[in-house]
Structures are given as structure tokens and as C-alpha cells.
Homo-oligomer: A and B are copies of this chain.
Amino acid sequence: MERYLKIINDTLEEALLCVTRPAVLNDAMKHALLAGGKRIRPVIALAAAEAVGGDAIDAKYVSCAIELLHNYTLVHDDLPSMDNDTLRRGKPTVWAKYGESTAILAGDALQSLAFAMIAKTSEKRPGDLAKILNVFSEKALGVVCGQVEDLSRNEQSDYDFIYEHKTADLFVAAAQMGAIAGGGSEEDVNAIAEFALNLGLAFQYEDDLLDGDSPWGREETVRRVDETTSKACIALKRINGDTSFLSSLANKLIGRTF
């Protein structure tokens, strides 16, 4: 884990060097990125590369891209017209510290920078760039679709759609891109995507249980945790490699034994 976090934080610092001017934009982006997130998604990307027999370092740019994208969504989610949050992880949110317009633009720049990091993956595996960019742009769009659907929650809302896109899409992108960057076979990439989809859903259901607030009610949510955890576990076993780290990470996130 320490090793993964070092790769992630070093690559995020490298990414921020792409934005030297204006200084306030760099500051706002750094504030968003270095506020102490758990780095779950980029860790999944690096671990996925290793699980399929590759090197974690080969997935450093895709893992960085995922974290940049995740953070842009948080910066925009916190805005006054969205969740109107002034604090995140005990620190002022980007808009609370730098103003609303700078926060909108810092989020925009984090998304652009995420794609700039995807461009860098071509240095190592030029032939896989199209595959990686396809996954990333599709899921980047998916997250926004999930968020828009979530904003208009009502009796008729399709919560399966919201959970899949708002939460699970970035887990899937992380795992899939990490596995591609690690040189995984198509079967392994598909299996790890299946694992990540179910892990992401289980993670969100657990979160709802902890909050005591779920659209399906407690009993059905517990059933869904069991079902997705079991599907994630089965998918992980299809992978032809050492999946012990991913298994223990899933265990920590969902509080179940894999």
C-alpha cells in the first residue's frame, strides 16, 4: 500500500507541473488533490496491473488520471448550486477557499489534465492507447450521467442506474485501465472489470447502510451487499494471477472476507 501511494502521489505532483500558470489555478488544483483522500480508485488501478502479471509502475498514468477525474467530480459536487459543501475532509472546499468561478475552472482543468495523463500512457504501450481512452472517456461521461440522474432524485428514479454510473463507473475504469496498462489478457481485463463493478456497488450499498439511508430499505440493501460481494469474489477468482492485494482491499472496503 505504501508503495502504491508513493507512485500515486509522485505522479499527481508530476501532473500538476503541467499547470504552472496562473499560480492560483495550480494552487486550487493542488488543494483539491492533496487534501488527503484515500486514493481507493488509483490503488485499484495499480493493483489491477499487478494482478494480471504486469508492473504497477506501468499503470501510474492511468491511476493518476482516475484520481484527477474523481477529484474534479468532487470539486464540482461541492459547489453552491450542487451540494453546497464548505468543508471536505475537515478542510475548506475549493470554492469556499478560492471562489466559485475558480472552483468551476479548477474542476474543468482537472478533467483536461486527466486526459493529458491518458495521453502519456502511449509512451509505454502505444497500441493500447485507443482501448484505454475508450474506457476512460466512456466512464467519464457515465459519471456525469449518474450525477445528473442523482440530482433529480424522486419516486421514479432508477437507483440502479445512479449507483452504477455515479459510483461504480470509476471503479470499473480504474481496474480495467490498470489491467490493460499491465498487459493483461482480454479475459483478465473483463474479469477485473466485473470484479470492480460489483466492488463499487457493494461499497456504495455499505455506505448507505452506515448512513442508515438506502433507497431499497435495510433488508434489501444487505441482500444486495451479499450478492455483489459474492459476484466480485467469483470474478476475482477468474483472474489468472495474484489477486491477494485486491482481495484484501475489497475485504477492507466492504468488511467481508473474500
Q: Which residues of chain A have a CB within 8 Å of any CB of chain B?
A: 18-19, 21-22, 24-25, 72, 76, 79, 81-82, 99-102, 104-105, 107-109, 111-113, 115-116, 118-119, 122, 126, 129-130, 133-134, 136-138, 140-141, 144-145, 147-149, 151-152, 161
Contacts and interface: CB of A to CB of B under 8 A. Distances in A.
7 contacts: A19-B145, A25-B148, A72-B108, A81-B104, A102-B148, A111-B112, A129-B130
Contacts of A107: 108
B102 A76 contact: no
B122 A129 contact: yes
A134 B119 CA distance: 6
Contacts of A72: 108
B115 A122 contact: no
A184 to B, nearest CB: 20
Contacts of A151: 101-102, 105
Given A116-B141, A122-B130, 16 more contacts: A19-B141, A19-B145, A21-B149, A25-B145, A25-B148, A76-B108, A81-B100, A101-B151, A105-B147, A111-B111, A113-B141, A115-B115, A118-B137, A119-B133, A122-B129, A129-B129
Nearest to A117: B137
Contacts of A147: 105
